[in-house]
Amino acid sequence: MTTVSRFDKLATHDRFDYSPIHQRPDYHWPGNTRLAVYLGFNIEHFAFGEGLGAKLGAALAEPDVLNYSWREYGNRVGAWRCLEMFDQLGFPAGIIANTSVYDHCASLIEACVRRGDELIGHGHTNSDHQGALPEAQELALLEHCRDRIAALGGRARGWLSPWIAESRVTTDLLAESGYRYTLNWAHDDQPIRMRTRGGQPFWSIPYPQELNDIPMIIARQMDAKDFAQMIIDHFDEMRRQSRHQPLVMGIALHPYLMGQPYRLLHLRRALEHIAHARDKGDIWITTPGAICGHVDMLEQGAGQQPR
């Protein structure tokens, strides 16, 4: 009789293999650049009186007017201030938006579409998460978000789950419903090919959980000037590292946080630092979908293949 040891191989997701970053094929981003930088701009809408949501102060009972209205500031004021700054600096954005936003503040999404920003699936509302949904309901959610983006003339290539929640089959369902990449996994600084049960081409594009205003400012109580300096320091080091391999640097922003005037001042300083480097021609300021498109092209044989 065979005895199973508690020290046998651990359970695994089996979505990708271990791969040291310094032992991979080399390639370049467009324009012979080495560092791809993108803004992940999270525009979210929350149910009033119920559900999940980041909190500025104690929630004593529902309706939680304090925290609901604080988050809603991002849609009414903060997002517009951020878009003005992105325009001034010439930055595109990956718009990670709940589909409830498309009805709640349609003019905000229309402004993003006019800018040429990429619309990225982000569930219907951040009051809920998909991790516990039955497979058929999760698929219906993914298809709903895909179709709402298509109705605005876009193509839903990418996905970020509200609260980064996944079921065991989220990756498979994303690939099967036509998405090409996920931002859920924070395990690398390069795009990584994911395995799916149907074998469809599917990527994990790096999305930051460190260079992200929610865990830094809400969870760790980091001041805006320190978060801005963190962006600058992270960028300078990644730019140096990218001499040896192509890298992706995402910056995750929420307008109810970074759209507050005193924080916007510091964010502007950080993005101006990156814009100055862009003007020297050695970085690519882009969107997650464009990154996905480039590695798709490489995999199809136009250059060195990422893995």
What is the rounded CA–CA span in Å between residue 232 and residue 224?
Answer: 12
Inside any domain, residue 69: yes
Could you tell me the residue range of the domain that residue 236 belongs to?
A: 28-47+65-302
What is the rounded CA–CA span in Å between residue 165 and residue 132?
Answer: 9
User: Quick check: 174 and 182 in contact, CB under 8 A?
Assistant: yes
pLDDT at site 50: 92
Inside any domain, residue 23: no
Q: Total domain count for the chain?
A: 1
Q: How many CB atoms lie within 10 A of CB 164?
A: 15
Inside any domain, residue 188: yes
Which spans in the chain are helix H? 65-73, 79-89, 99-104, 106-115, 135-151, 170-176, 213, 224-241, 255-258, 261-278, 288-297
User: Quick check: 191 and 204 in contact, CB under 8 A?
Assistant: yes
Inside any domain, residue 60: no
Inside any domain, residue 4: no
Q: What is the CATH number for 257?
A: 3.20.20.370
Per-residue pLDDT of the chain (307 residues; tens, 9 = 90+): 555 567 888 999 999 999 999 999 999 999 999 999 999 999 999 999 999 998 888 878 899 999 999 999 999 999 999 999 999 999 999 999 999 999 999 999 999 999 999 999 999 999 999 999 999 999 999 999 999 999 999 899 999 999 999 999 999 999 999 999 999 999 999 999 999 999 999 999 999 999 999 999 999 999 999 999 999 999 999 999 999 999 999 999 999 999 999 999 999 999 999 999 998 888 999 999 999 999 999 998 754 456 5
pLDDT at site 282: 84
Tokens 């690398």 -> residue: 188
Inside any domain, residue 1: no
